[in-house]
Amino acid sequence: MNLRTLIFLFILIPITFFGILLILLLNIFDPLGNSFYKIAAWWGRLSARLFRITIEVIGEENYNPDQHYLVLSNHAGMADIPLLLGTMKLNLRFMAKEELGKIPLFGRALRKAGYVMIKRGQNRDALNSLSAAIEVLKGGHSLHIFPEGTRSATGELLPFKRGAFRVAQKGDTPVLPVTIIGSHLITPKKSLKINKGKIMVIIDKPIDPSSFNTIEALMATCSEVITANFNHYSNDYICR
């Protein structure tokens, strides 16, 4: 635990709590949950300022904020979600683990905003979550999924799972591959410390799922793009 952890506990959490109450109130007039995005994006930018996190975004020209995408990125730290909310100009929903949906008020706000809670594994609940994710895309909203399924403790990429790419094909929505570098140093796995630092977000060109005959081919291409950007920009990240 350090000073930034205390800032999280005694400043950011109370702000988050009142933000959730505001979101639930606005949801009465905005049942689609679109107001959630603006508040969540502000919260993401505030988090970066409070914790002195510098974010460099590369490739903003590769997507259109007026369109919707299935955003796929690697996952290396708890900072990934707020930094993506704060930097990407998309009305973005996330697929999140079901434990978050069980947190009083917070879980309700996520569900009202169109976030999809997923239970890990291959059971019926997990398949229903994938179906719900497909419906979010078909409804014209952007959705983010971490295809690795869990955070990387070292920042290195983990193998991708098929579920995200099944959603991509069934949702008939362009895939926006995003690479995140450095977030594992901000919020190390299995640690209460929050560190200041820098993060790189590399946004590549959209990939059309309909141009692939199989889920495996789509998964391989997305993995290659994210891996290539990770390898290419990791040296720049270390040198800066």
Q: Could you tell me if residue 174 is left (phi over 0), alpha (psi between -120 and 50 degrees) or otherwise beta?
A: beta
pTM of the model: 0.92
Task: Go through the domains of the chain in sequence order and give each one's CATH number.
Answer: 3-239 (3.40.1130.10)
Q: What is the pLDDT of residue 101?
A: 83
Instruction: Retrieve residue 170's tokens.
Output: 């069934």
Q: What is the pLDDT of residue 37?
A: 86
Distance CA 55, CA 73 (A): 16
Residue with tokens 């495996």: 216
Surface-to-core class of residue 179, CB atoms within 10 Å of its CB (0-12 exposed, 13-18 middle, 19+ buried): buried
Q: Write out residues in the chain with pLDDT < 50, as ranges.
A: none
pLDDT in tens, 17-52: 888 888 888 888 888 778 888 899 999 999 999 999
- Ranges of beta strands (E only) in the chain are 53-58, 70-73, 92-97, 116-118, 142-145, 175-181, 197-203
Q: Could you tell me if residue 6 is left (phi over 0), alpha (psi between -120 and 50 degrees) or otherwise beta?
A: alpha
